Amino acid sequence: MTRTGTRATLIAAGIALGMAANATHAQTIKIGVNEPLTGAVAASGNFVVNGAKIAADEINAKGGVLGSKIELVIEDNKSNPTEAVAAAEKLIVRDKVPVMMGAWSSTYTLAVMPKLMEYKVPMLVETSSSDKITVSGNPYIFRISPTSGMEANAFAPRVGALKIRKADFLVVNNDWGKGAADVFAKMLKSKGIAIGVVATMDASAQDLNAQLSKIRSSDADTLFVTTAVEQLTLVLKQAHALGLKRQIITTGGSQSPDQLIEQAGAAANGSYHLLFFPPWFPEASPDAARAKAFVAEWRKRGFTFAGLTEGFRGYDGIHTIVAAIAKAGKAEPEAIRKALWNTTLTGLNGKIAFTKAGPAGKESGQSIPAVYVVKIDNGKVTLFR
Amino acid sequence: MDELLQHVVNALMLGGTYALLGIGLTLIFGIMRVVNFTHGELYAFGGYMIFMCTALLGLNFYVALLVAVILGVALGAAIELLLLRPMRGADIDTTMLIMIGTWIVLQNTEQMIWGGVAKSIVPPLSTEPLVLGPVSVAWLRVFVFAAAAVLIVATYALINRTRLGKAMRATFQDRDTAALMGVNVHAINTATFALGSGLAAAAGALLGTVFVVTPTMGDLAALKAFAIVILGGLGSITGATAGGFILAFVEEMGAGYVSSGYRDAMGFLLIIVVLLFRPTGLFARAERIG
Amino acid sequence: MPWLGLVFLASVPLWLRDQYFLHVLITTGIFTIAAMSLNLLLGYTGQLSLGHVAFFGIGAYASALTSLGFEVDIFGLHVVHEPWPVVIGFLVGIAVAGLCGYAIGRLSFKVRGAYFVIVTISFAEVTRLVALNWVELTQGPMALNNIPPFTLGFGTSEYTVWGKVPNYYVVLAVGAAAYLVIRRLVRSRIGRAMIALRENEPLATSLGIDVTRFLVLAAVVSAAIAGAAGGLYAHFIRIIDPDIFLFIYTVTMVIMVITGGKGTLAGPLVGGLIFGMLPVVLREFASPVAQWIIYGSLMILIVFFLPRGIVPAVHDWWTHRRGAAAVPERTRVRVENAANTRT
């Protein structure tokens, strides 16, 4: 390296490393939030954070927990696993949060998991659905979102009512979509239903005519679709344009039926959706009053109504964490972790309680949520029992 | 057989817009030798502008389409004047980095203004598809195909039949001689970038209506545009048009018959294979444009 | 002089207590190594490779799969691989990446300039899609997790690198090794030939320099070093999925090289440090979207005002102050190059 090269490097290093220490404010209990706020899945991450903020404000209005207010320390993981790890590191090391919520996508959550083991800090998983998360032997993971397997099992009783004889699958080409196709196919086969075409689509693909044309030529009567709301809108529109006449059932919980109605119009009619929170029917939720209050507050803050089907995850997540902190009696990682095993509450989705999952001695916590089925008819959402 | 016909029609419809994307970039890449990473953002910009005009300003769809294209031309000209012209003479990768920076800024500004949720545009066309026997196609797609065709023909005419076009071709062949012959090379650069950007915005406005508008919609579009330009050969409009249709066919057939997961890979594999045998693309005849 | 820098960097864990910064330094270091390898191709041979992340990812997957073990069916053959020690995996990663570099080098040096750019982008995209769809081998989007951390030694005498400080030293060691290899290459006759290529290819060819051979050599070394960086990433972050091939990582490397100063040895280091630490600084005071906007704007500004990069600009300023006696390195090499380009 030349002299100036070394000089420049030293100066750059000095600038980079010479940063002021952060100021810590005493007397608030911090909860780390690790979500994608920019990048490919920013919309969903922002919805979850909105829900979390509503929960935090609600809790603080009632005096907080253990005599202190709670403070959400929110970090953006930029829809990127490397950043998810960096965000977790910052939250734990710099902000010294005793507990975290995150990280939305299964890959980001998996990336953060070694950090949890290293620093012994528990994390509440609110959206990720990969099986790997709870079977990797990580006792610091507590998940309230279901795996696709649980979703399929919860849906199984309604299969008969929908008169399915043969099903095709069109899923997004990632862990979530493929996982869903696998477990739903298995569940259907166990009921004697045949499986037809299983097609995938790249997460950023917008033209799905090729896959839909192929599906159109199959003789199935039902199409299962698993993907996020943007791509789902495209699937419905293009299926309609191709004259695809069969019943469409969507899974995964990221469908936002209102957005589908708004953007796909008539193409959305007749479709069924598996969700974990039905904001149009707060009375269907076990804690109806609280659901109504949540929906009202969401509206009041001017958030997109369609985001409620994801925002509730942040809400339930924060409430679960705070309940655990209250039970633990102190805001420390190990105490909170132990307390989570004994935490039960009624969330917007249903009862939350953690059962053991994974290898013995190193189990993670998994709560088994309820699944709701709604149908879109003539531009309106109806509950399908 | 039915399925095959449907695939063919799908590919045709898609090919038109791919061609539009490719032509815009081949002009910029071919004439100005700029690795234009903002091409995808101009595409997204077109989508957002038509959304803004129809949803927020209540303009008629066709008027909004025109406005979106004009705004795209304007933004392109602005980028060229403010960021590229002062960098004339710099290395290709330095200019490329400026384009990357602009890409990041534009995309995140879009997210800041409009949010990450997808926006959709409702065209004044029937949502029931046009059915011709076993083939079904949405009216909107037919309109988009027609609009793209018109724009392609217009651009071809501009490049080959007008004085401006002649000046562009001259600059492409030999910049210095063109300057000596009195061509205002600076103005040609601005015009080229603006034209290319306008075409990208048009493609974005059209496809944004067919699909949905999101801040990241330009990323995949830009990648495909580069692929099309290479397939067809730098600077060749005929090449870009053909490249657009070829890519659409390969993708459609690949996804329909080979594997839907590898759909996008088909296009890129095709490029690698083509470039192995014809290093300057399928249609380029040395350094020519037109 | 560079030894001073190395000693300084080696001393950092001794006085930097903040674990978060150490973590960021490690990841910055990994991407800086990748940036150095890109610089070899971009800065010294003048070929713009925008698919460089492919080598990074291939090195990561190769190393991870070798140390995890796998079972696949290829063309009817059932292949089972038992887990091997991490060090072997790391070396396998380097070798596989280097091999791919050779293939790309041979195939794509028939094409130049813009076409080469696209071929490299296409290669990276195809690699990503293969990693995504060949689920049997790579686990596809389900991700390869529980990758063992870096372990030195084999069998009974193993030392597993837990904790940040040892990992930091591993990254520093690999970085230093990469730097030395690149420096050796660049200052040798081979390096001068590469620069001759960059400056004036037709002239160089007419003088009898075997263009393709040197470009391929540069591609192999460049890919191998990128593969090493990928291996480090796999064993430090301990989970990889096809998103590792995303274009944004190539963009990050390109930014580091060009803002730092391509064609100089210190360039990628300076660029790497600045753009590796910048997001960290921005996290402190800007909203997520604003962070990106500032990041992009800064990039534009640096390149606008210092088109050749920071290191050459600082060098010029320094020599300008000292008087015109010193000849900048790039020019010096050019002058020497003119005198002895015969190979």
CA distance B211 to chain A (A): 6
Distance, CA of C342 to CA of C337 (rounded, Å): 9
* DSSP secondary structure string for all residues of A20-88: PPPPPPTTEEEEEEEE--SSTTHHHHHHHHHHHHHHHHHHHHTT-BTTBEEEEEEEE-TT-HHHHHHHH
pLDDT above 80 (res A63) = yes
8 Å CB contact of B117 and A304: yes
Please give the pLDDT value at position B289. 39
C234: which 2 tokens? 């796999």
pLDDT above 70 (res C333) = no
pLDDT above 90 (res C43) = no
Distance, CA of A152 to CA of A371 (rounded, Å): 9
pLDDT above 70 (res B36) = yes
Distance, CA of C178 to CA of C37 (rounded, Å): 8
pLDDT digits (tens, 9 = 90+) for A223-271: 999 998 888 989 999 998 888 888 999 998 878 888 888 888 888 888 9
Q: What is the mean pLDDT of residues B251-267?
A: 76
Distance, CA of A266 to CA of A255 (rounded, Å): 16
Phi, psi of A208 (to 5 degrees): -115, 15
Is C299's Cβ below 8 Å from some Cβ in B?
yes
Nearest to B116 among A46, A214, A240 (CB): A46
Distance, CA of C231 to CA of C89 (rounded, Å): 8
- Domain residue spans in chain A? 26-146+285-366, 150-275
8 Å CB contact of B252 and A209: yes
Please give the pLDDT value at position C324. 59
CA A57 to each of CA A33, A35, A103, A326, B260: distance values in angstroms, whole numbers, following the listed order: 15, 19, 21, 16, 46
Interface B:C, Cβ pairs < 8 A? 127
Phi, psi of B115 (to 5 degrees): 80, 170
Which candidate in B17, B216, B260 is best for mutational testing of the A interface (most A CBs within 10 A)?
Answer: B260
Is C142's Cβ below 8 Å from some Cβ in B?
no
pLDDT above 50 (res A29) = yes
Is A33's Cβ below 8 Å from some Cβ in C?
no
Is C64's Cβ below 8 Å from some Cβ in A?
no
pLDDT above 50 (res B1) = yes
Higher pLDDT: C291 or C56? It is C56
Please give the pLDDT value at position A87. 92
Higher pLDDT: B161 or C213? It is B161
pLDDT tier, B77 (very low <50, low <70, confident <90, very high otherwise): very high
SS3 C143: coil
Please give the pLDDT value at position A72. 94
CATH of A26-146+285-366, one of 1.10.645.10, 3.90.1150.10, 3.40.50.2300, 3.40.250.10: 3.40.50.2300
8 Å CB contact of A213 and B256: yes
Please give the pLDDT value at position A209. 87
List the subunits that have 3+ CB pairs under 8 angstroms with B: A, C
Q: What is the mean pLDDT of residues B25-45?
A: 86
| Terminal alpha carbon distance of chain A | 72
Please give the pLDDT value at position A276. 86
8 Å CB contact of B2 and A217: yes
pLDDT above 70 (res C335) = no
User: Which amino acid belongs to residue A372?
Assistant: Y
Please give the pLDDT value at position A319. 93
Q: What is the mean pLDDT of residues B17-40?
A: 86
Please give the pLDDT value at position C190. 76
Higher pLDDT: C113 or B134? It is B134
Q: Which residues, 6+ apart, have CB-to-CB distance to A123 below 8 Å?
A: A34, A99, A100, A101, A102, A109, A112, A116, A140, A141, A142
Q: Examine domains A26-146+285-366 and A150-275 and report if their fold is the same.
A: yes
pLDDT above 70 (res C155) = no
Q: Mind listing the domains of chain B with CATH numbers?
A: 2-277 (1.10.3470)
A195-199, A224-228, A288-292: least confident range: A288-292
Please give the pLDDT value at position C342. 42
- Classify each residue of B109-131 as buried b or exposed e, where b means 16 or more C-beta atoms within 10 Å of its C-beta: bbbbebbbbbbbbebeeebebee
- Classify each residue of A67-88 as buried b or exposed e, where b means 16 or more C-beta atoms within 10 Å of its C-beta: ebebbbbbbbbbbbbbbbbbbb
Tokens 């005519």: give the residue.
Answer: A209
Higher pLDDT: C231 or B131? It is C231
pLDDT tier, B67 (very low <50, low <70, confident <90, very high otherwise): very high
Higher pLDDT: C86 or B262? It is C86
Which residue of chain B has the CA closest to A173? B261
Nearest to A16 among C143, C274, C319 (CB): C274
8 Å CB contact of A206 and B220: yes
Q: What is the mean pLDDT of residues B140-153?
A: 90
B33-42, B240-249, C31-40, C108-117: least confident range: C108-117
Predicted TM-score (pTM) of this structure: 0.83
Q: What is the mean pLDDT of residues B226-237?
A: 81
Higher pLDDT: A258 or A143? It is A143
pLDDT above 80 (res C107) = no
Is C107's Cβ below 8 Å from some Cβ in B?
yes
B249-263, C40-54, C214-228 — which one is most confidently predicted on average?
C214-228
pLDDT above 90 (res C144) = no
Is C48's Cβ below 8 Å from some Cβ in B?
yes
CA distance A71 to chain C (A): 16
Contacts of B275 in chain C (CB under 8 A): 108, 110-111, 115, 118-119
pLDDT above 60 (res A45) = yes
Q: What is the mean pLDDT of residues C212-232?
A: 90
Please give the pLDDT value at position A109. 92
Q: Which residues, 6+ apart, have CB-to-CB distance to B266 below 8 Å?
A: B250, B251, B254, B255, B258
Of the candidates A91, A137, A128, the one whose C-alpha atom is nearest the C-alpha of residue A106 is A128
Contacts of B98 in chain C (CB under 8 A): 299-300, 303-304
A247-251, A303-307, C208-212 — which one is most confidently predicted on average?
A247-251
Which candidate in C107, C300, C305, C306 is best for mutational testing of the B interface (most B CBs within 10 A)?
Answer: C300
8 Å CB contact of B118 and A263: yes
pLDDT digits (tens, 9 = 90+) for B268-286: 777 777 777 776 667 665 4
Q: What is the mean pLDDT of residues C17-37?
A: 89
| Terminal alpha carbon distance of chain C | 30
Tokens 């995949």: give the residue.
Answer: B220
pLDDT above 90 (res C135) = no
Say if CB A353 and CB A259 are below 8 A apart. no
Distance, CA of B21 to CA of B247 (rounded, Å): 12
Strand order in the sheet with A247-251: A194-201, A166-172, A222-226, A247-251, A272-275, A372-377, A380-384
pLDDT above 70 (res A24) = no
Which residue of chain C has the CA closest to A200? C133
Please give the pLDDT value at position A100. 95
Q: Which residues, 6+ apart, have CB-to-CB distance to B146 below 8 Å?
A: none
Cis peptide before C64 (omega within 30 of 0): no
8 Å CB contact of B268 and C126: yes
Nearest to A214 among B129, B217, B256 (CB): B256
- The CATH class for the domain spanning A150-275 reads alpha beta
- Angle, in degrees to the nearest 10, between helices C19-39 and C247-260: 80
pLDDT above 80 (res A124) = yes
